[in-house]
Amino acid sequence: MTSTKHIVIIGGGFCGMMTAVHLIRDAKYPLKITLIHSGTPFIRGVAYNAYSSKHLLNVASGNMSAFPDDMEHFTNWLRIKKEYTNYEKKLLAETFIPRNIYGEYLGNIWETILAAKNGTVELTILDDYANDIELLEHNKAKIFLKKDLPFIADYVVLATGNSLPRNPPIANMAYYSSPTYFQNPWNINSVSHLKPDGDVLIIGNGLTMVDTVIGLLEQKFQHKIYSVSTNGSIILPHRHFGITYNDLVEELPGNFELTKLVSLINKHIKKLRKLGISAGPVIDSLRPYSQRIWQSFTPEEKKKFLSRFRHMWGVARHRLPVFIYDIVEKLRVQGKLETYKGKLINITEKGNEVMVTFHNTKKWCTETLPVQRVINCTGPETSIYRNLNQLLLKLAEKAIISPDLLELGINADPSSYNILTPEGEKHPNLFTLGTNLKGVLWETISVPELRVQCEQLSKVLLQACKQD
Ligand SMILES: Cc1cc2nc3c(=O)[nH]c(=O)nc-3n(C[C@H](O)[C@H](O)[C@H](O)COP(=O)(O)OP(=O)(O)OC[C@H]3O[C@@H](n4cnc5c(N)ncnc54)[C@H](O)[C@@H]3O)c2cc1C
């Protein structure tokens, strides 16, 4: 090894921070790490900086450890917190804790690693935005910043995470600059300062829609909430705690064909239903295999999955804690929440009213809803061409990054995390993980997958530094 290697991590959410944690913990020789972060709060990101204590984790605590080799790390930490000491660890493992508490947990991991850090790693944290990267000779990269001067690094990790949702196409795209439109559903402004009269429309019908409904209730919002989404499916609760189902996994074939897999899943769902158990445990049992399954699909199967099964999978996979589900269902029964299956056609403003026109794909007719505001809960944008992340847009424009086949994220090698050139070659010094790998791995959003990626990527980086 010639000189101290310099690793730059862009993005300080779960992925950037946990990759740094592993690097600091495992580095055996001098290393320089620069973590560049701006936007949502450092470490917490949007996910663990919730504006409401009723915004809960969507994964039970028992599966939320930040460390893949210490699965009780989170529940052990919870137990030493005053409000959780009186609960059995086994019970805590089955519960859904507020996301802010998880943010505290991540903060604690960071403080602990900083306190234990010796002189091997030189760590710099920059509160800045990386807006460009230039690839130089000898596998070096020049990082350009919004505020500070550019500098040179040996390895760069794009841990850029969750972007704002995309504005759905409508005839009057100018509406999206209106103060009645909220593109960022994770900001408390989206549910505050409402007028005493007028309904609200939420675009999207998933977990963020539910968080927004909870947020509106906390703001004492009394009027009607509409949600419009292309699938119109009702979000489901986690019904069966502690049930693990292994029969499907035992029957999984060596290579996966989409149609065969769908019939196998349906067979097992029917089998469980006979016992009065819903599809949850069958779907959950596939989670450790989902990335392998996705990677073995042909491009046609991936496209078919996206067009035919994506929403069904989403509904079955992303479920709600029962007590939150009950709040939402009560609103439906009271007629205060109406969910439509439809496609937005236009949004216009008339006086104080916002008129939302959509094609109701259940009734096959056009409908118009007058509301006072529109909140976009369609989920983070992952396409590198439509992203609001200026760095990703810039790198895509320069063809330093390119999309995966389905344009769901960045094309990369999921075993080494190297970003691939448009020609499919590995960039030796550019890496990515997390949501950016959506097209390559499909399930790459939640902590159970991300914690593994952070650890593996840090090993790849340490090995690369050693070999140089
Ligand atoms: C609302 C919400 C709730 C969620 N809840 C759960 C849950 O309960 N359980 C679970 O397992 N998963 C959950 N997830 C999934 C979540 O994506 C991950 O758990 C995790 O937070 C992702 O971390 P990340 O580091 O990849 O991204 P982020 O947390 O988004 O962090 C990336 C950071 O990089 C910064 N950044 C981006 N580009 C630049 C740049 N060019 N220069 C400088 N900084 C930059 C961004 O501002 C951002 O703060 C949730 C996601 C969301 C959106």
Would you say the C-alpha torsion 49, 50, 51, 52 has a positive or negative sign? negative
The region that residue 378 occupies, defined by phi over 0 for left and psi between -120 and 50 for alpha, beta otherwise, is alpha
Return contacts of 265-269, CB within 8 angstroms, 24+ apart. Answer: none
- Residue 36 beta carbon below 6 angstroms from any ligand 1 atom: yes
Q: For residue 337, report the phi and psi dihedrals to the nearest 5 degrees.
A: -130, 120
Residue bearing the CA closest to ligand 1, atom 50: 47
Give the pair of three-digit tokens for residue 414: 């999921």
Contact 61, 88 (CB under 8 A): no
Instruction: Identify residue 152 by its one-letter amino acid code.
Output: I
Residue bearing the CA closest to ligand 1, atom 51: 47
Enumerate residues 6+ apart whose C-beta is below 8 A from 123.
20, 24, 33, 34, 35, 114, 117
The residue to mutate among 37, 183, 190, having the most atoms of ligand 1 within 8 angstroms of its beta carbon, is 37
Contact 160, 12 (CB under 8 A): no
- Residue 47 beta carbon below 6 angstroms from any ligand 1 atom: yes
H-helix segments, 159-257? 207-218, 247-251
Q: Looking at residue 310, what is its pLDDT?
A: 85
- Residue 59 beta carbon below 6 angstroms from any ligand 1 atom: yes
Contact 4, 32 (CB under 8 A): yes
Residue bearing the CA closest to ligand 1, atom 20: 14
Q: Looking at residue 468, what is its pLDDT?
A: 67
Count of Cβ atoms closer than 10 Å to residue 120 Cβ: 13
Give residue 274's Cα distance to chain centre. 34
**Span from the CA of 164 to the centroid of ligand 1 (angstroms):** 11
Give residue 293's Cα distance to chain centre. 20
Q: For residue 306, report the phi and psi dihedrals to the nearest 5 degrees.
A: -65, -40
**Span from the CA of 228 to the centroid of ligand 1 (angstroms):** 25
Contact 21, 171 (CB under 8 A): no
**Span from the CA of 161 to the centroid of ligand 1 (angstroms):** 5
- Residue 101 beta carbon below 6 angstroms from any ligand 1 atom: no
Residue bearing the CA closest to ligand 1, atom 36: 11
**Span from the CA of 248 to the centroid of ligand 1 (angstroms):** 32
Q: d(Cα 155, Cα 292) in Å, to the nearest integer?
A: 27
Count of Cβ atoms closer than 10 Å to residue 459 Cβ: 12
- Residue 445 beta carbon below 6 angstroms from any ligand 1 atom: yes
Return contacts of 288-296, CB within 8 angstroms, 24+ apart. Answer: 289/249, 289/252, 290/442, 290/443, 291/414, 291/441, 291/442, 291/443, 291/444, 291/449, 292/256, 293/256, 293/261, 294/441, 294/442, 294/443, 295/414, 295/440, 295/441, 296/255, 296/256
> 3-state class of 462 per DSSP?
helix
Q: d(Cα 219, Cα 93) in Å, to the nearest integer?
A: 31
Q: Strand order of the sheet with strand 373-376?
A: 181-182, 373-376, 200-203, 225-229, 337-350, 353-360, 365-371
Q: Looking at residue 352, what is its pLDDT?
A: 85
- Residue 109 beta carbon below 6 angstroms from any ligand 1 atom: no
Residue bearing the CA closest to ligand 1, atom 37: 160
- Residue 446 beta carbon below 6 angstroms from any ligand 1 atom: yes
The residue to mutate among 8, 14, 208, 290, having the most atoms of ligand 1 within 8 angstroms of its beta carbon, is 14
Q: Measured from the CA of 186, which atom of ligand 1 is nearest?
A: 1
Q: d(Cα 81, Cα 133) in Å, to the nearest integer?
A: 42
Give the pair of three-digit tokens for residue 90: 């086994």
The residue to mutate among 96, 148, 446, 457, having the most atoms of ligand 1 within 8 angstroms of its beta carbon, is 446
Closest to 455 in 3D by CA, of 23, 74, 116: 23
**Span from the CA of 48 to the centroid of ligand 1 (angstroms):** 8
**Span from the CA of 152 to the centroid of ligand 1 (angstroms):** 26
pTM over 0.85: yes
- Structural domains of the chain ordered from first start: 5-56+98-163+382-467 (3.50.50.60), 173-236+320-376 (3.50.50.60), 247-317 (no CATH)
Q: Write out the chain's pLDDT in tens, 468 residues.
A: 468 999 999 999 999 999 999 999 999 999 999 999 999 999 999 999 999 999 999 999 999 999 999 999 999 999 999 999 999 999 999 999 999 999 999 999 999 999 999 889 999 999 999 999 999 999 999 999 999 999 999 999 999 999 999 999 999 999 999 999 999 999 999 999 999 899 999 999 999 999 999 999 999 999 999 999 998 877 888 877 778 888 998 888 777 889 999 999 999 999 999 988 888 888 889 888 989 999 999 999 999 999 888 888 887 788 888 889 999 999 999 999 999 999 999 999 988 899 999 999 999 999 999 999 999 999 999 999 998 899 999 999 999 999 999 999 999 999 999 999 999 999 999 999 999 999 999 989 999 999 999 999 999 999 999 876
Q: Looking at residue 2, what is its pLDDT?
A: 60
- Residue 106 beta carbon below 6 angstroms from any ligand 1 atom: no
**Span from the CA of 104 to the centroid of ligand 1 (angstroms):** 15
Q: Strand order of the sheet with strand 130-136?
A: 130-136, 140-145, 151-153
Give the pair of three-digit tokens for residue 230: 């292309």
Q: For residue 441, report the phi and psi dihedrals to the nearest 5 degrees.
A: -120, -15
Q: d(Cα 416, Cα 297) in Å, to the nearest integer?
A: 20
